[in-house]
Structure 1
Amino acid sequence: MVGLTNKKAVRLLRLQERLIMGKEVYPPDLARELHVSLRSVQRDLADLQKTDLALRTHETPDGRQVWSVMPSQRQFDVKMTTMDLVVARLALGMFHKYQGTGLEDFLAELAEKVSSKLESAAGSKKLNLTGRLMARQPFSRDFTTSSDIFDEVLTALLNGKKLEMDYAGLRGETRRHIVHPYTLLAYKSGLYLIGRSESVRDGLPRVFAIERISACVHLRKEPSEVPPDWDPEAFVPFWGGLLPGKEQKVRLRFVPTLAPYVQKLRLPENSRLTRGPAGSLDLTLHAVINEEFITWVLGFGPAVQVITPRRLQEQMCDQLRATLAQYETA
């Protein structure tokens, strides 16, 4: 034991493993445990400080100076079954789509770790997983030019700090905001920050698209304020997305061949499915009528018909006429 722990490389490895597992290190205790001098332990800690390991010190109530790593670098020993690893790998592939945010690199590294564990587990169970798992996200957005901005947003959000940012509105005008960040929302292929802007007098939360933030910095000395009753699930409607619109009762009629698909949809609690004429299926729900909802309905083409309300029928017809006009003038 003494001969082994006297080797500096081994000591550094053990010390690093101990720290990243979230354990605190008190140099005198560690020196006695490893049978080395206090000076050796202090040198080891100094060497680790020169690496990517983010070390910090603090004083305990009994006056001892202990060392630890920042919470963001701690690792955890999580026990997972083979099925857990399969699900985790597939899920990581589904979310691996935010190119340029830094999340992409992080998820790729995490997926590699899970894949390595999965291969080991599959080997021991003689499972052939080659080509068995795949996830693809077409038409996802490229956030490469927003990587630094995303990092600032995430830092402010996790550390409870305000953000100062320049934001381009829908009309193209850029405005400076001091924002109290509430929630980072991954919605479809986009990333959005929900928060309150001090530049807007009504004090209501707003949705900011990450890709429309042209400059951003978190304010280290200015803590943000999040209402104690803030509920992001209530703020983002189940059906209607992030665009403004008025919630209305809608009735859609789907052709018989689409009935099995519609019956498997995840629907709001107040939705109702009923049989229509000739084997069709009627879906009645309350939805926010906006461009996103209209686009979703249009995606079914002639396989769906808007029964009510009349105004939605007119909006659908307007969209179809405008689309047809694009080809009539060609």
Structure 2
Amino acid sequence: MNKTDRLLAIVLELQRSKVLRAEDLAAKFETSVRTIYRDIQALSEAGVSVIGAPGQGYSIMEGYFLPPVSFTVEEAVTLLIGTDFIEQWFDAHYGSKSRASRGKIEAILPEPIRGEAERIRSSFRLLTTAEEAERLQEKDYLNVIRQAILEERKIRFRYSKRIAEADGNRHSVRTAAPYGLVLVRGSWILIAWCELREELRHFRLSRMTELIELEAKFTLPADFRLDAYKPPDDRNVRVRVWVEPDLADKVREANSFYTETIEEQPEGLLMTFRVRQPEELLQWVLGWGSGVVVLEPESFRSRVRDELKKVLKRY
């Protein structure tokens, strides 16, 4: 990084972090503390309002704004594709904001940069495989939940699980305190404290219906940080299957969420999955027909046989 780029980066870091020590900046930009001292001096001489507090660090005077900056072609493409992603995957509110942002970014780009950025951007396309009707409802729910998170209000919804609970029920009404939203493999997941289960749970927005925001408030735990949160791994059951060679490429490309290992064998693929309960893989196994064979556990082999017998009776 040359000096000019580093000076700009230092201003951006100070605007973002409020107060930083010279040692922090030196570590960030992989340079010496002495060089940072010289950079701060250069910024002050250039009219940037940098304030130094002994024992605390450097900060930018309140009210100072960085003048407009220029973008490279690659930076412009990154920002424009980012607005496309937001418009496609977020709710209507942020969709409109992304379109407005895209217009502003394009307006400030010099003509050569704008033309080249558009040429490169036109070679990318973001596609969604979800059904359009489901995507529209998911976006509506995303907007409700986002507002509930910001206002720290509880929500209530009817939830449908893919596999029935121990009591045989797949449907239940949940009241929850929403902590955060995560986009996982094209599906929005809500992380929330569930009052029914009295623990932190994950809910797919696509499996929700009758969602409403409640007047009841909640307080986000002081020790909860979405960016540091790691869900407990309770997938303790291993399932091993054999895949015949003709299906090997298709199965590998399907990339099941539960896949743990894939071993190449002369006679096909040996795959290991880790699940909470084997039934989570039942439809996946049946969908490949005779080209996929369950090796273990034996109880799951029996479950697949029973399901195939039911299919045979129907035909």
CA-to-aligned-CA distance 1:3-53 (integer Å, 9 cap, x gap):
xxxxxxxxxxxxxxxxxx99xxxxxxxxxxxxxxxxxxxxxxxxxxxxxxx
- Supply the AA of the counterpart residue of 2:188: L
Q: Out of 251, 261, 269, which is 2:240 matched to? A: 251
1-structure distance, mates of 2:111, 2:310: 53
Q: Which residue of 2 aligns with 1:273?
A: 262
CA-to-aligned-CA distance 1:235-258 (integer Å, 9 cap, x gap):
4x5xxxxxxx86311222223355
Given that 1:253 and 1:276 are in contact with CA atoms closer than 8 Å, whether structure 2 keeps it comes out as no
Q: Out of 213, 219, 225, which is 1:223 matched to? A: 219
Q: Which residue of 1 aligns with 2:126?
A: 135
Q: Out of 90, 93, 108, which is 1:102 matched to? A: 93
Q: Which residue of 2 aligns with 1:204?
A: 199
TM-score scaled by length of structure 2: 0.55
- Counterparts in 2 of 1:263 and 1:106: CA distance versus 1, 3 Å: same
- Counterparts in 2 of 1:256 and 1:189: CA distance versus 1, 3 Å: same
Q: Out of 315, 320, 324, which is 2:303 matched to? A: 315
2-structure distance, mates of 1:118, 1:316: 62
- For residues 9-158 of structure 1, the aligned pairs below 5 Å read 81-87=72-78, 89-90=80-81, 93=84, 96-98=87-89, 102-110=93-101, 121=113, 123=115, 128-129=119-120, 131-140=122-131, 141-142=133-134, 144=136, 150-158=142-150
- Supply the AA of the counterpart residue of 2:241: L
2-structure distance, mates of 1:118, 1:258: 51
- Supply the AA of the counterpart residue of 1:307: L
What is the Cα deviation at residue 156 of structure 1? 3.5
Given that 1:156 and 1:218 are in contact with CA atoms closer than 8 Å, whether structure 2 keeps it comes out as no
Q: Which residue of 2 aligns with 1:167?
A: 157
What is the Cα deviation at residue 83 of structure 1? 3.2
- Supply the AA of the counterpart residue of 1:162: R
Given that 2:92 and 2:143 are in contact with CA atoms closer than 8 Å, whether structure 1 keeps it comes out as yes
- Supply the AA of the counterpart residue of 1:223: T
2-structure distance, mates of 1:110, 1:225: 33
1-structure distance, mates of 2:102, 2:285: 35
Q: Out of 230, 254, 259, which is 1:233 matched to? A: 230
Give SS of 1:133's match.
coil
- Counterparts in 2 of 1:255 and 1:150: CA distance versus 1, 3 Å: same
Given that 2:148 and 2:213 are in contact with CA atoms closer than 8 Å, whether structure 1 keeps it comes out as no
Q: Which residue of 2 aligns with 1:35?
A: none
CA-to-aligned-CA distance 1:56-91 (integer Å, 9 cap, x gap):
xxxxxxxxxxx99xxxxx999776543344455556
- Supply the AA of the counterpart residue of 1:102: H
Give SS of 1:134's match.
coil
Given that 1:246 and 1:288 are in contact with CA atoms closer than 8 Å, whether structure 2 keeps it comes out as yes
Q: Out of 285, 294, 301, which is 2:282 matched to? A: 294
TM-score scaled by length of structure 1: 0.53
What is the Cα deviation at residue 223 of structure 1? 2.9
Q: Which stretch shows the higher mean deviation, 260-269 or 185-194?
A: 260-269
CA-to-aligned-CA distance 1:104-135 (integer Å, 9 cap, x gap):
4444555566677598526358x844852222
- Counterparts in 2 of 1:149 and 1:135: CA distance versus 1, 3 Å: closer
What is the Cα deviation at residue 216 of structure 1? 0.8
- Counterparts in 2 of 1:218 and 1:106: CA distance versus 1, 3 Å: farther
- Asked if 1:193 is matched to 2:190, the reply is yes
Instruction: Flag structure 2 segments of 5+ consecutive residues without an equivalent.
Output: 1-14, 17-61, 161-168
RMSD, aligned CA: 4.7
2-structure distance, mates of 1:275, 1:316: 24
- Asked if 1:182 is matched to 2:174, the reply is no
- Supply the AA of the counterpart residue of 2:147: T
